[in-house]
Every structure is written in C-alpha cells, then in structure tokens.
Amino acid sequence: MMTIGQTILPYLSFTALSSTVAFFLCGLQICHRIKTRGSSEGTSPAPFLLSFLSCGLFIQYGLLKDDSIITYTNGIGCFLQGCYLLYFYKMTRNRKFLNKIIAIELCIIGIVVYWVAHSANSHLTKTTYVGNYCIFLNICSVAAPLFDIGKVVRNKSSESLPFPLCVACFVVCFQWMFYGYIVDDIVILVPNVIATVISILQLSLFIIYPGSPPGVFPEKYEHI
C-alpha cells in the first residue's frame, strides 16, 4: 500500500523541477541589465560560478543515485549557468581572473567524473563522497543570505532585501526539503532545511522591519 509521500512524490517532483528551472531563469534578468549597461562592471560572477559547479556535481550525484529528477534539474541548471557565464565572459573586461576560476571549476568537475568512472571504491563510497561535496557547496550557497539578515537588523529596514526572490527561494527550497524527506536523501534534505529556515527568517524581516513595498526588486540585488 502506497504511503501519502509516495502518492504525492510524482507531483512534487514535477513542481520542484519546474519551480527550480524558473528560479534558474532569474539569471536572464541579470544578463539583460548587463546588456543595458554595456558591460558586466558592478555585477559579480560568483553566483553563476558557484551554481555552475554545484549543478555539475549534482548531475554526477543524481546519476550515482539513479535519480532522474536530480539529474534533469541540475542538467538544465548547469546548461543555463554555463550560458550566463559565457555571456558574462563576453561582456567582462577582467577575463584573466575569470579564465582561472572557470578552469578550476572544470578541472574539479572533470576530476570527480574521472574518479567516479575509474575508482575501485564501492558505489556507496562514491555516492557518499560526491554527496558530501554537494552538501558543502549547497550550504555555502544558502549561508550567503545570513549576511543580508544581519544588515537588515542593524539598519532596521528590509529595503535591501528582494521580496520576490525571497519568496521564490522559500518555495523552491521547501519543495526540495520535502522531496529529500520523502526519498530519504540527506544530501537533498540537509541543505534545504537550512535554506528553508533562512528563507523564513528573511520573510519575517519584512514584517518586523518594513521597508520598500513587496514586489520591489532592489537594483543592488541584480548580482544574485
């Protein structure tokens, strides 16, 4: 007899994949602003770089776990982040530094793929190691908003927070948290539990410290 989790899993998988891809498309707005300005000056490539590396490793993790949802979602994410990076590269003046970072990331992904393909370690060991790398990268990503929370508390204003992005982040992370719980995957569950808690804290700040009206996307957050 199917449990409630098993019953809703197909629907949750579809909504998690769809909402995550939609979240990835936020990069189009950043690229549009870069195009409008005529250069990437003032915009950091860090989110694209971190997301590209994270998605690349999660593809390998999804293959090891034989989880098509994880593989497809991060495959799309890796492609989109790669496109954003190419456009950023085209529009930036500091290509020397970017060349080094991209080369390092490609080497990391290549080393992991080679190790998984040729290592004599067990399948469980490979999955554990790759999963741990994925957890580390995801925690690095989800911990970034903590700096913004501190700034809001100090200034007693939520004006610097992008309300639409905070809501979208909560929706996406909550779905993946639930997905990780249903499929009993700690690599998916742990980072998204942390991200969901941080998203709730961010959203609560709009009530505690009202700033700009909901729906306003501060220009300073174009780099997210």
Token readout for 160 is 């610097």
Segment 59-88 shows an average pLDDT of 94
Q: Which residues, 6+ apart, have CB-to-CB distance to 159 below 8 Å?
A: 211, 212, 218
Containing domain of residue 158, as a range? 8-34+43-208
Q: Which residues, 6+ apart, have CB-to-CB distance to 80 below 8 Å?
A: 21, 24, 25, 27
**Within-domain flag for 106:** yes
Q: How many distinct structural domains can be found in the chain?
A: 1
**Within-domain flag for 95:** yes
Q: What stretches of the chain show up as alpha helix (H) in DSSP?
A: 4-24, 27-37, 46-65, 68-91, 95-118, 123-143, 145-155, 163-182, 186-208
Instruction: Encode pLDDT of 77-102 as tens digits.
Output: 999 999 999 999 888 888 888 889 89
**Within-domain flag for 224:** no
**Within-domain flag for 14:** yes
**Within-domain flag for 183:** yes
**Within-domain flag for 216:** no
What is the distance between the alpha carbons of residues 16 and 126, in angstroms, rounded to a whole number? 26
Whole-model pTM over 0.85: no
Segment 57-72 shows an average pLDDT of 94
Token readout for 147 is 């700096």
